Structure 1
Amino acid sequence: MALTKPPLKDIAYFSMEIMLETHIPTYAGGLGVLAGDILRSCADMTVQAVGVSLIYNGHIFSQHILPDGSQTFHEVEWRKMDQLTKLTDRVTLTIRHEDVHVGVWRYDIVGLDGHVVPVYLLDTALPENSPWGQEISANLYADKGDLRLAQEIVLGIGGVKMLRKLGYTDIKTYHMNEGHCAFVPLALLEEHEYKDDQVRPLCTFTTHTPIPEGHDSFDYAFAHDIGEKYIPWHIKEIASKEKLHMTKLAMNLSKYSNAVSQKHAKVSSHIFPGFSISAIDNGVHHRTWLHPHLQDVYEQCVPGFLKDPGKFKKVAETVADDLLWNAHMHAKRELMSYVNTHVTDNAFDENVLTLALARRPVAYKRPLLLYHNVQKLLEVGEGKIQIIQCGKSFPYDQYSQDIVRQVVQLANQLKGKIRIVYLENYSPRVARFLVAGADIWLNAPMQPLEASGTSGMKAAINGVLNFSVPDGWWLEGYRMEPEAGFKIGEEISGLDAKFDNDLDSQALYSELGNVIIPMFYQDRVKWIHRMKRAIALGAYFNTHRCVREYTKQAWERQA
């Protein structure tokens, strides 16, 4: 039942995915993790916000990697009742010419001082819906076009209607986290006599996608067939003449649009000429990603740090070298223990320089660049480095499975020379081991296709040094603190994707062999100095700062 007088909420934050907990399958990757971090900072900062997303009821798979690198997948049972609260409220939509009933679940994000940000998760797996209607909320990012568009209608139209049903009538700003949410302003148009100039002051938009093909668009005939009731007469004026382009729709009906790094803003403006796209750099929720032992050490050095991540710089200036190193080794031993439960021999060693690569196994992230020249890698790293790689592949994604197979085969090939392991079932839980216990965080995507790269920020606040191409957040982070890590090659000059695996791998091997390995083994004082410079980056790359910037530049902005 809806609250008779719900707390006033200034911000409604819409996202197709939100990472609430590791074992609640409402996220796929960085977009959802970032959304969860933003809302956790809202809770810590007592921002009056509410989150809106979908709950997914389909198949959840566990990944098992066999000795030859092939994989099997096992379905994992997940019960919503274990972690969410089922509400009785319902709204009804018309999608594909049939009634689709939408239920809702609630999850509360509780801040450091007890402030609650509720997240409402929409659900079509109701017995009163047809089998097709129930399937809408089965799987995140449905690959069937009708279900994908239906999901976006449920999120945008259904999300606004559900907020009204729950009693939230005075929300000041509706924030769309990616184009999947672009039906939100169409729901608001219905409430405001279809006047764009009345809806635009209510909406803000964030894009995370630097690839044109990554932005959803639908043929108009198809869109009318699926969601005719919610498509206004002037849709081609606000969503492009050619197709229902979700990102263009969102930007045309928003008072403010932003990308998630300075470079990404330039790339987005290049993709969408004529639109005003600003930049609000991503960050991470420090309490979520900082190792508990390091939290204690930092708080001991700078009381109040947990409430104010702006004090990361003071932490870096205050923490003693031996205290920081001992805390890092504590986290590294935990990582080694976890890794060694996944290897049958040639155990990983806490005294060896440890590189972590943890990204989705997709082409533009170049998960195999480190192995581009195996002979050169051996010349540089034999007996001196060990590599932990992970990134979950899925049952029907042959490309990602091939990547995993190649890494496992390389691990077998290089056994006794360089330890390599590919961890199964990468998740936020596994990420917490890696971002705290590795020595180097390696990231080598094609430029300029790294919109941000928040995993590197998580590593930095734990004192782990980034080793990355100058793109996304690291382009700015390296300029702010050039001793906070290392870079691979130079920034490309243009805004279209370019890569040269030969050139970039040469730069990688050169920096690894000539700078990183000697410093790690021969100059601990200099290494710890760099760890502190990495930690200092957390003063800027945190979601508390993001929320302040969103509040000032976007949410409270006058249209």
Structure 2
Amino acid sequence: MDNIILEKGRKIAYFSMEIGLKKEIPTYSGGLGILAGDTIKASADLGLPLIGVTLLNRRGYFMQKLDSAGRQTEHPQEWSPSDFMQPLPAEVTVTIQNRDVKVKAWFYEHQSLTQETVPVLFLDTDVEGNSMEDRQITHSLYGGDRKYRLKQEMILGIGGVRMLKELGYSITKYHMNEGHSSLLALELLHQNNVSVSKVKELCVFTTHTPIESGHDVFSHDLVMELIGQNSDFEILKKYGGEHQLNMTVLGLNLSNYVNGVAKRHREISEKMFPGYKFNSITNGVHSYTWVCSHFRKLYDEYLPGWANEPELLVRVRSIPDSEIWDAHEFAKKDLIDYVNRECGNDMDYDTLTIGFARRITEYKRPTLIFSDLKRLRKVNEAGKIQLIFAGKAHPKDEQGKKFIEMIFRYAEELKSEIKIAYLENYDMDLSLKMVSGVDVWLNNPRKPLEASGTSGMKAAHNGVVNFSVLDGWWIEGCVEGVTGYSIGPRPEVDKSLEQIEMMELDDLYNKLEYIIIPKYYWRKDEWVNLINNSIELIAYYFNSHRMMHRYVTEAYL
């Protein structure tokens, strides 16, 4: 262990508030954390000299329980770090409210199939000598109030840089995955004689959200309370905002390389933050993680080496169609069996199955498909459909919770016609079941609020057909009728929000009734062609290996 700790070869530090590596380590809530985990895994596959830095989150995000009416309650997701990682002896302090808070770290090592490894440091304030209040800083992901959040971001950014230095790592690039870790730039200014040019050279900043509320903002009163009215406060005012501390602005002002996570997201970001130039590196997913066992077996047989060279998936046509279809059917059976066990829905294997699973919040419009029940019933008369939903609403998102209850009510209203299931406690394992087991992956966020999205990429890796609004990555991935189907007009269409939503609803129902259902039920060869196209034209490109190649050549070197 000591040799690993003191190993000087790590040059890139990747900071993320959440990192999702496996279900059993519940230090993630959704897309941002899963992307961070996929970044770690791809970096190990490629032998990149990277080290991850995150918070321990001893109580995870939360366990979701749903009652018979769809009412969500949240429960701590207790887990034991010692089952997966080792505590390090090193200790640093971060001054919060004029007191020194001790920070220790747990060492986790992700090992790739290539036998390469990437370490991850999980920062922990539940340390002897800290007050009970300070021990709880690293307990709950996205829990607590604004003060709790800023304390967490101080531990991540300031504590993370200090821990890397204490452990002897020689870092040449600090990659901030969202603004949560932007305070690392403040610490780097102290370590580099307040040389802004030097710090900018060290920093890479990636933003993942085109939503105002997704960018952390803190009042100067709170900053003064926690950090103090000293030179740090003046630096934060200068680079993070004159009237309040905007963590994204801080990251933008102190990084030489800044990017959004899709081409469209770059355009939106430049409108949100005028005067700043953004690059774009479209997200990808870790292919081996997000391919189910049935397709892994096929790819292993016909495309050896695909796991570490996912661009080989472009040769999927060397696999007989009958075997592709069988793999999909096996994955679908796994999912339907699970749904019937958990929900008692009596779903069947032959019905066209549509999946929707993500964080449940207003802009993702989880109930859009139920907007016109008369039209939905007409769709179902054209060819039977069944719907499977999953996803957590943030504990403070009352509207998100109401959406879950609404889906339960629609399921009850339509139960004699359309089978609808809602699976509780969405996590990495359930996600893999869903993205590989449904026939159609539905995604209908309100444009332009999807920065990238990655669940559809996972679905494509398993030959599942994407059906999505043209936002985020799907603008780049959609070839209409070839790689999947779009919902509604292109982003440049000049219409009101109400007109666009009406166009989207029309498109949603019409394509289901007149294109998707007939193709699935009566033109199976064309459907299998869609499956092949999803793998050949989407999975080969929208993967984290390609993404990390871009970060290395454009941001790190």
TM-score (norm 1): 0.95
1:496 and 1:43, CA in 2 relative to 1: closer, same or farther beyond 3 A?
A: farther
User: Per-residue deviation at 1:69?
Assistant: 2.5
1:284 and 1:495, CA in 2 relative to 1: closer, same or farther beyond 3 A?
A: farther
User: Per-residue deviation at 1:184?
Assistant: 1.1
Q: Which moved more, 1:276-285 or 1:288-297?
A: 288-297
After TM superposition, list the pairs within 5 Å mapping 1:380-395 onto structure 2. Answer: 380-382=379-381, 384-395=384-395
1:207 and 1:265, CA in 2 relative to 1: closer, same or farther beyond 3 A?
A: same
Alpha-carbon distance between aligned partners in 2 of 1:269 and 1:300, rounded to the nearest angstrom: 45
The one-letter code matched in structure 2 to 1:221 is D
Q: Which moved more, 1:81-90 or 1:182-191?
A: 81-90
Question: What does residue 354 of structure 2 align with?
Answer: 355
Question: What does residue 104 of structure 2 align with?
Answer: 103
The one-letter code matched in structure 1 to 2:9 is L
After TM superposition, list the pairs within 5 Å mapping 1:206-355 onto structure 2. Answer: 206-228=206-228, 231=232, 233-315=234-316, 317-344=317-344, 346-355=345-354
The one-letter code matched in structure 2 to 1:371 is F
- Is the contact between residue 360 and residue 393 of structure 1 (CA under 8 Å) also seen in structure 2? yes
Question: What does residue 367 of structure 1 align with?
Answer: 366
Q: Which moved more, 1:333-342 or 1:135-144?
A: 135-144
- Is the contact between residue 442 and residue 466 of structure 1 (CA under 8 Å) also seen in structure 2? yes
1:381 and 1:65, CA in 2 relative to 1: closer, same or farther beyond 3 A?
A: same
After TM superposition, list the pairs within 5 Å mapping 1:361-510 onto structure 2. Answer: 361-382=360-381, 384-479=384-479, 482-493=481-492, 498=497, 500-510=500-510
1:341 alignment partner, SS class:
helix
Deviations 1:401-459 (A, max 9, x none): 21111111111111121000000111111011011111000000000111011000000
1:407 and 1:258, CA in 2 relative to 1: closer, same or farther beyond 3 A?
A: same
Alpha-carbon distance between aligned partners in 2 of 1:57 and 1:74, rounded to the nearest angstrom: 13
1:69 alignment partner, SS class:
coil
The one-letter code matched in structure 2 to 1:227 is I
1:23 alignment partner, SS class:
coil
User: Per-residue deviation at 1:509?
Assistant: 0.3
1:411 alignment partner, SS class:
helix
Q: Which moved more, 1:321-330 or 1:124-133?
A: 124-133
Which structure 1 residue ranges, 5 or more long, are not aligned?
Answer: none
Alpha-carbon distance between aligned partners in 1 of 2:161 and 2:313, rounded to the nearest angstrom: 38
Deviations 1:323-342 (A, max 9, x none): 10011101111011111112
1:249 and 1:62, CA in 2 relative to 1: closer, same or farther beyond 3 A?
A: closer
After TM superposition, list the pairs within 5 Å mapping 1:137-176 onto structure 2. Answer: 137-168=138-169, 170-176=170-176
The one-letter code matched in structure 2 to 1:52 is V
User: Per-residue deviation at 1:47?
Assistant: 0.5
Alpha-carbon distance between aligned partners in 2 of 1:526 and 1:187, rounded to the nearest angstrom: 57
Alpha-carbon distance between aligned partners in 2 of 1:179 and 1:106, rounded to the nearest angstrom: 24
Deviations 1:354-408 (A, max 9, x none): 0000021100000000000111101111461000001113555432221111111
Question: What does residue 29 of structure 1 align with?
Answer: 30
1:139 alignment partner, SS class:
coil
Q: How many residues align?
A: 552
User: Per-residue deviation at 1:73?
Assistant: 4.2
The one-letter code matched in structure 2 to 1:120 is L
Alpha-carbon distance between aligned partners in 2 of 1:397 and 1:111, rounded to the nearest angstrom: 37
1:529 is aligned to 2:520: no
1:460 alignment partner, SS class:
helix
User: Per-residue deviation at 1:74?
Assistant: 4.3
1:274 alignment partner, SS class:
coil
Name the Cα RMSD after superposition: 1.9
Alpha-carbon distance between aligned partners in 1 of 2:326 and 2:138, rounded to the nearest angstrom: 46
- Is the contact between residue 135 and residue 147 of structure 1 (CA under 8 Å) also seen in structure 2? no
After TM superposition, list the pairs within 5 Å mapping 1:40-79 onto structure 2. Answer: 40-58=41-59, 61-79=62-80
Alpha-carbon distance between aligned partners in 1 of 2:231 and 2:514, rounded to the nearest angstrom: 60
Alpha-carbon distance between aligned partners in 1 of 2:130 and 2:510, rounded to the nearest angstrom: 60
- Is the contact between residue 468 and residue 487 of structure 1 (CA under 8 Å) also seen in structure 2? yes
The one-letter code matched in structure 2 to 1:285 is H
1:462 and 1:230, CA in 2 relative to 1: closer, same or farther beyond 3 A?
A: farther
Identity %: 41
Q: Which moved more, 1:126-135 or 1:195-204?
A: 126-135
Which structure 2 residue ranges, 5 or more long, are not aligned?
Answer: none
User: Per-residue deviation at 1:494?
Assistant: 7.4
1:347 and 1:28, CA in 2 relative to 1: closer, same or farther beyond 3 A?
A: same
2:47 alignment partner, SS class:
coil
Alpha-carbon distance between aligned partners in 1 of 2:62 and 2:202, rounded to the nearest angstrom: 39
Q: Which moved more, 1:62-71 or 1:226-235?
A: 226-235
2:37 alignment partner, SS class:
helix
Alpha-carbon distance between aligned partners in 2 of 1:375 and 1:91, rounded to the nearest angstrom: 62
1:387 alignment partner, SS class:
strand
TM-score (norm 2): 0.95
- Is the contact between residue 290 and residue 436 of structure 1 (CA under 8 Å) also seen in structure 2? yes
Question: What does residue 203 of structure 1 align with?
Answer: 203
User: Per-residue deviation at 1:60?
Assistant: 5.7
Deviations 1:168-204 (A, max 9, x none): 1x21111000011101111111111001011111110
1:83 and 1:498, CA in 2 relative to 1: closer, same or farther beyond 3 A?
A: farther
User: Per-residue deviation at 1:30?
Assistant: 0.3
User: Per-residue deviation at 1:61?
Assistant: 3.8
Deviations 1:229-274 (A, max 9, x none): 6726443332222222111111111110000000000000000011
2:343 alignment partner, SS class:
coil
1:333 and 1:118, CA in 2 relative to 1: closer, same or farther beyond 3 A?
A: same
The one-letter code matched in structure 1 to 2:492 is S
Deviations 1:128-180 (A, max 9, x none): 11122112112112341221111111111100100111111x21111000011
Q: Which moved more, 1:3-12 or 1:329-338?
A: 3-12
- Is the contact between residue 180 and residue 216 of structure 2 (CA under 8 Å) also seen in structure 1? yes
The one-letter code matched in structure 1 to 2:38 is D
User: Per-residue deviation at 1:72?
Assistant: 4.2
Question: What does residue 119 of structure 1 align with?
Answer: 120
The one-letter code matched in structure 2 to 1:173 is K
User: Per-residue deviation at 1:221?
Assistant: 3.1
Alpha-carbon distance between aligned partners in 2 of 1:396 and 1:171, rounded to the nearest angstrom: 37
Alpha-carbon distance between aligned partners in 2 of 1:215 and 1:378, rounded to the nearest angstrom: 40
User: Per-residue deviation at 1:67?
Assistant: 2.4
After TM superposition, list the pairs within 5 Å mapping 1:540-559 onto structure 2. Answer: 540-556=541-557
